[in-house]
């Protein structure tokens, strides 16, 4: 399911317009991003937990040229599935 399909399903469930469902979905996604920036973790009980994790610098090889380079250290978002979602799959 992609974002457009999710918006369509939301509009049917909420009995609203697709534009309204898209605004609601965008608001939820924006608030998840804000929560990750603010606290580093967003937990949705029964669905899962989004958490910001550090990624170390590492050595990689360019497969075309064989040249070795290092990637930058940074951050990424990890998702851990909750019991409710795990049980429904």
pTM: 0.79
Q: What is the pLDDT of residues 8-36, one digit of tens each?
A: 999 999 999 999 999 999 999 999 999 99
Of the chain, the percentage scoring pLDDT greater than 90 comes to 96
The dotted CATH code for 40-89 is 4.10.520.10
| pLDDT band at residue 58 under the 50/70/90 scheme | very high
Average pLDDT, the chain: 95
- Each domain of the chain, given as residue ranges in start order, spans 1-39, 40-89
pLDDT at 89 over 90: no
- Rounded to an integer, the average pLDDT of 69-75 is 96
DSSP string, 29-87: HHHHHHHHHHHSEEEETTTEEEEEEEE---EEE-TTT--EEEPPPEEEEEEEE-HHHHH
């Amino acid at each position: 399911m992609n974002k457009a399909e999710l918006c369509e399903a939301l509009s049917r469930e909420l009995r609203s317009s697709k534009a309204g469902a898209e605004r609601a979905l965008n608001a939820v996604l924006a608030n998840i991003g804000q929560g990750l920036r603010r606290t580093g973790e967003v937990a949705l009980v029964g669905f899962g937990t989004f958490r910001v994790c550090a990624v170390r610098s590492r050595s990689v090889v360019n497969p075309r040229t064989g040249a070795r380079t290092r990637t930058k250290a940074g951050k990424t978002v990890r998702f851990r599935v909750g019991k409710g979602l795990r049980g429904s799959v």
